[in-house]
Structure 1
Amino acid sequence: MKRWGFVGLLALMACGPESSTRPLSRGQTCPGVVAGEVTTRQGLDSPLPSRVQGDGRQSVLIRFRRGGQTQASRVTATGAELTRATGAKVSAVYRNIPAVAARVNALERFMLEHSPLVESIEEDQRWSSQGLPPALTQPVGASTLGASPSDEYSEGLRLVQGPAVWDANGDGVLDPGAPTGEGVKVCVIDSGLDVEHPEFQGAVVASHDFLEGDDDPTDKSEKGEWGQGHGTHVAGIIGARLGQGGVTGPRLNAGGMVGVAPGASLLIARVLDPQGSTQMSVVFSALEWCESQGARVLSLSLGGGSPTRNSVEAFKAALDHGMLVVAAAGNQGGPVLYPASDPSVLAVGAVDANERRANFSSMGNALGLMAPGVDVLSTFPRGLGTFAEMSVNDLVPMSRSLLYSPTGDALGRLVDCGLGDSLDACQDATCDGFVAYVHPGAVPVDQAMSNVMMQGARAVIFGNEDAPAGGAADILSLPRRGHWAPAVSVNQATGTVLRQRLGTFARLSLVPVDYTYVSGTSMAAPFVSGVAALLWSAHPTLTPLQVREAMEASARDLGTPGRDPAFGHGLVHAHDALQRLQ
């Protein structure tokens, strides 16, 4: 597996001794430095999904007229024959809606539009993941190596009362007979999974890759490069196993973390490509596959587009067939995205560890529940997460590595680089190397990184004085490809300390781990999916609507009393929901 660690080492020192200690002239850069995003995309792009091929055809959904009580599957079979007869390339035939997905050229579409069997032809919408890179929030506490298994319980897990359901005495052991999600299948419709991650051993019972048409759900390109790791993070929130930790580094318990429903069976449906995108037709195929595998809960941390007759019927069929679909509300801060806004889907927004609504979390009357979605710790493809340690003279301030930051060590004077918005932003920059302190927001993170690296920075610290200490701030991430220095973020309190120590020496050490912190409503939705699995584990005969009603009626009310557009019914509480059912 290719890693980016080499770019985080001393390879970023590129100046000769004769000029290395001289301050740079205004706008001057250090010779030989390579910084920034790689221009070629080779190795990071997977093949286009089967429904998105470069053959000049348009991806569409073709819906057929349905007379009387004729079953959708019968209508679809006839329609598929008609579609193929025109020369169109059929990529999916559905059971629950009278439609097929196909790629058509202009002539084929014209022929189909004029067929009496065809009701409508619509564009195959693009949907995308709803996860955000790590926020500048309160960093991890002190090392917990050697601590008890209960230290696998993250802030978010405790917030939704997971341990109160299956570890009432807090001894780090699952209580005999307690509902853990055992016997319940949760289908994760996402970007796939690192199936070899220790946290998922024994958890995955079936999988399918809808992009490559096989049963290997690994989130990788043909060349073996990992995608975003989004699905691995989501799946860990739901069903990571207790006491099966991967590589944790110095700041996490050796057991890693545990999911809300550590006994649930996971079904993995890969629909998102390495860039986090998919098409509506692919999600429809995944819905029907999840049903065929006996799923009770479908977790969708993706969205986009708008409702159509096909989509409304597809999600209604899932509900009618005994499945609860849980979806991320969206990260745009505006109205709830589709499909979370669908009447048959439960929309979930995000709160932070202090039960405050995340500023990115979408709102509206369609919002059902809230769950942790800021700085959420969960599983990540092995070795692709990074945890940071920083020291400045005698202090060891807390920091959080940026997502996709290279690993490695860096030592140098702490230099104020302002906004990082130009090639003369760093005061007293020299080519012998330094640690840059940057205020984010003026330019994109990758541009600020390139600017300060060209001035000799070996590592970069992003601080945000506008963010409250311990609270969420801007969302930062590096591109997955390119030449970057190790980079971390700090909150307001740490930033204040660092600004008082400019000119002193700082050391950064970033180590590869199997976990990371990510923010977004993508992280909130699987918390609710896990709680739903716990309820079904305790009461297998419940209907999806009964499970939903129990979670909504027992939620911790936030904001305006009663249901409101900012918080829906409130924060999901697993133990309280079970108490209500009992």
Structure 2
Amino acid sequence: MRKPIAFVITAAILAACNTQPAPQTQAPELTTLNGNPAVAGEILVKYQGGVSLSSVQPLRGSRQVSAFGDADWGQLARVQVPKGQELAFAEAYSHQAGVEYAEPNYWVENPREEVQAVSLPKTSAPRLQALPSPITDKYFVEVPTGDPFATASVGGNVNYSNVPYLWGIYRTRAPAVWAAGYTGQGVTVAVIDEGVDLNHEDLAANIWTNPNPNNPSCPGLHGYDFADDDADPSDTGGHGTHVAGTIAAAANGKGVVGQAPEAKIAAVRALGYLGGSNYMLVRGLKYAADCGFKVANNSWGSGAKSKAFYDVISYGTQKGTVYVFSAGNSFREGNRLSWPVGYSPVIPGLIGVGATSANNLRAGFSDAGDYVTVAAPGQGILSTIPTVQNPSDPYAYLQGTSMAAPQVSGVVALLFSAKPNLTPLQVRVALERTANASLTGQLAKPDYRTQNAGWYGYGLVDAKAALDYVLANY
């Protein structure tokens, strides 16, 4: 079932939009546990591999609602418990034989609430660029007039002029990788988000098609919807479509182009219009690994530290999936640590991404810490939005670390197109060793022990330098 879209970015950007229907997906009743929102009356119980759920006796007063998993990883069960007793039941279940852990079913708010829309002019004057000959996208030879990227940065008001609309692609040096013959071909990137517009003019050619949509471990023709548990992962708000365009919008002469314009996008809807539970998100994270996707973009985060997130991402990286996560947008509100990106220092295949402005400084909203592996353009990013939001021009500028993470996911896809057998650790090493710490003016690489602790991690991601590194070393 295709979900209606009710997310209008701003009137300035989407003035052409008509009134849209209210979303059908509603959040469940929520409570606050350990200072974080969670589904009231539910917990998650993880059983070890080899444990048969049919042989498990639920604790009195609780019942299993659903479960998923396999013989190797084990089973994660969603268990209904009395409201107000979630923590007590999680503690009791954690001591049962065969149980690895039990915890609340935390709720993750839709990241759309944190990204910021940016109203920028789209008038332009031509300027020649050195481009790979197959690329015909008109935005490569146009630049905005005036000062469209003027914004408050860490150092105050900084004016940017003559910045291409797709400045992020040039800052990562992706066109140099395309010129070397690597455009993301043969690589599928899972966009774990609130869905993707599967029919968008700039995305349709790059939507993944499942050769076996009835595979129980990897169902769905173009991905899967774990929020509504069906095979239609269409977008319900716009955030996921914008992310997908930054990764792999096609170089087709229309709209924009992604970092990896020949990669495929698998739409993994694990967030509803109002957010999603850890149970939904863990299913989506495991799905990415079980389907064999090389990269999974995650432009979302939670305040709740979760064993289930650590568990499933560790599983996925061992199977070869690189998980890219946005660092968060709360720097001005106390720089709150977000999860699962907080696991980046201890899971090599989890890449944390901070956001930079067009002056290569940390965007003022971008979180900082030792979980920021690299930084990437995240302020004033033009990309795709669902066609229904603005049929005549389905593109918009957004900003946030949500926009920075897909830049890195696209770069990782480029690396896999060059070296398909890279391990997640090798990808991380390549990104770290080749990130540009000069453009960001860092005092050290990484910058975790400097006065700007974790603003950029190892520096600004550099696709061409990373490509050269993997070709020379792996």
Give the distance between the partners of 2:64 and 2:30, measured in 1 at CA: 11
Give the distance between the partners of 1:307 and 1:341, measured in 2 at CA: 8
Structure 1 residue 125: Cα displacement = 1.3
Find the partner of 2:326 among 325, 328, 350. 328
Find the partner of 1:553 among 433, 452, 455. 433
Structure 1 residue 271: Cα displacement = 1.1
**Alignment pair present for 1:214 and 2:94:** no
Does the C-alpha gap of structure 1 residues 158 and 114 become closer, same or farther in structure 2, counting only changes over 3 Å? closer
SS at match of 2:325: strand
Aligned to 1:292: 290
**Alignment pair present for 1:353 and 2:331:** no
TM-score (norm 2): 0.73
* Preserved contact between residue 45 and residue 76 of structure 2 (Cα < 8 Å): yes
Aligned to 1:379: 384
Q: Deviations over 1:435-492 (max 9, x none)?
A: xxxxxxxxxxxxxxxxxxxxxxxxxxxxxxxxxxxxxxxxxxxxxxxxxxxxxxxxxx
Aligned to 1:224: none
SS at match of 2:49: helix
Equivalent pairs, count: 387
Give the distance between the partners of 1:143 and 1:80, measured in 2 at CA: 70
Give the distance between the partners of 2:55 and 2:196, measured in 1 at CA: 32
Q: Deviations over 1:192-225 (max 9, x none)?
A: 0111101112212231011121111112xxxxxx
Give the distance between the partners of 1:160 and 1:570, measured in 2 at CA: 11
SS at match of 2:257: coil
Find the partner of 1:525 among 396, 405, 422. 405
RMSD: 3.4
Structure 1 residue 308: Cα displacement = 3.2
**Alignment pair present for 1:151 and 2:134:** no
SS at match of 1:152: helix
Give the distance between the partners of 1:273 and 1:285, measured in 2 at CA: 14
Aligned to 2:456: 567
Aligned to 1:106: 82
Give the residue type in structure 1 aligned to 2:200.
H
Aligned to 1:263: 262
Trace 1:297-312 onto structure 2 (pairs within 5 A): 297-312=295-310
Structure 1 residue 143: Cα displacement = 6.3
* Preserved contact between residue 42 and residue 81 of structure 2 (Cα < 8 Å): no
Aligned to 1:580: 469
Find the partner of 2:174 among 146, 162, 178. 162
TM-score (norm 1): 0.60
**Alignment pair present for 1:194 and 2:197:** yes
Aligned to 2:44: 61
Q: Which has the higher contact order (CA 8 A, sep 6+)?
A: 1
Structure 1 residue 128: Cα displacement = 3.1
Give the distance between the partners of 1:303 and 1:80, measured in 2 at CA: 35
Does the C-alpha gap of structure 1 residues 83 and 235 become closer, same or farther in structure 2, counting only changes over 3 Å? farther
Structure 1 residue 358: Cα displacement = 0.4
What percent identity do the matched residue pairs reach? Answer: 31
Does the C-alpha gap of structure 1 residues 320 and 80 become closer, same or farther in structure 2, counting only changes over 3 Å? farther
Structure 1 residue 517: Cα displacement = 0.4
Does the C-alpha gap of structure 1 residues 51 and 280 become closer, same or farther in structure 2, counting only changes over 3 Å? farther
Does the C-alpha gap of structure 1 residues 4 and 309 become closer, same or farther in structure 2, counting only changes over 3 Å? closer
Does the C-alpha gap of structure 1 residues 579 and 58 become closer, same or farther in structure 2, counting only changes over 3 Å? same
Deviates more, 1:118-127 or 1:42-51: 42-51
* Preserved contact between residue 375 and residue 456 of structure 2 (Cα < 8 Å): yes
Give the distance between the partners of 1:4 and 1:301, measured in 2 at CA: 17
Structure 2 segments unaligned to the other structure (5+ residues): 12-18, 32-38, 130-134, 141-165, 209-221, 448-453
Give the distance between the partners of 2:125 and 2:73, measured in 1 at CA: 53
* Preserved contact between residue 5 and residue 237 of structure 2 (Cα < 8 Å): no
Structure 1 residue 297: Cα displacement = 0.6
Give the distance between the partners of 1:85 and 1:288, measured in 2 at CA: 30
Give the distance between the partners of 1:98 and 1:80, measured in 2 at CA: 14
Q: Deviations over 1:556-577 (max 9, x none)?
A: 1023232111110111111111
* Preserved contact between residue 92 and residue 285 of structure 1 (Cα < 8 Å): no
Structure 1 residue 85: Cα displacement = 9.6
Give the distance between the partners of 1:4 and 1:296, measured in 2 at CA: 30
Structure 1 residue 89: Cα displacement = 3.8
* Preserved contact between residue 130 and residue 521 of structure 1 (Cα < 8 Å): no
Deviates more, 1:189-198 or 1:96-105: 96-105
Q: Deviations over 1:78-120 (max 9, x none)?
A: 3785349976243332336545231413299758577444454
Aligned to 2:53: 78
SS at match of 2:368: coil
Does the C-alpha gap of structure 1 residues 2 and 570 become closer, same or farther in structure 2, counting only changes over 3 Å? closer
* Preserved contact between residue 59 and residue 101 of structure 1 (Cα < 8 Å): no
Give the distance between the partners of 1:287 and 1:230, measured in 2 at CA: 18
Does the C-alpha gap of structure 1 residues 162 and 182 become closer, same or farther in structure 2, counting only changes over 3 Å? same
Aligned to 1:46: 24
Give the distance between the partners of 1:119 and 1:90, measured in 2 at CA: 18
Give the distance between the partners of 1:216 and 1:2, measured in 2 at CA: 14
Q: Deviations over 1:103-155 (max 9, x none)?
A: 4132997585774444543111122344545455764442679x982433411
* Preserved contact between residue 80 and residue 90 of structure 1 (Cα < 8 Å): no
Aligned to 1:21: none
Does the C-alpha gap of structure 1 residues 579 and 2 become closer, same or farther in structure 2, counting only changes over 3 Å? closer
Find the partner of 1:363 among 361, 365, 368. 368
SS at match of 2:414: helix
**Alignment pair present for 1:241 and 2:217:** no
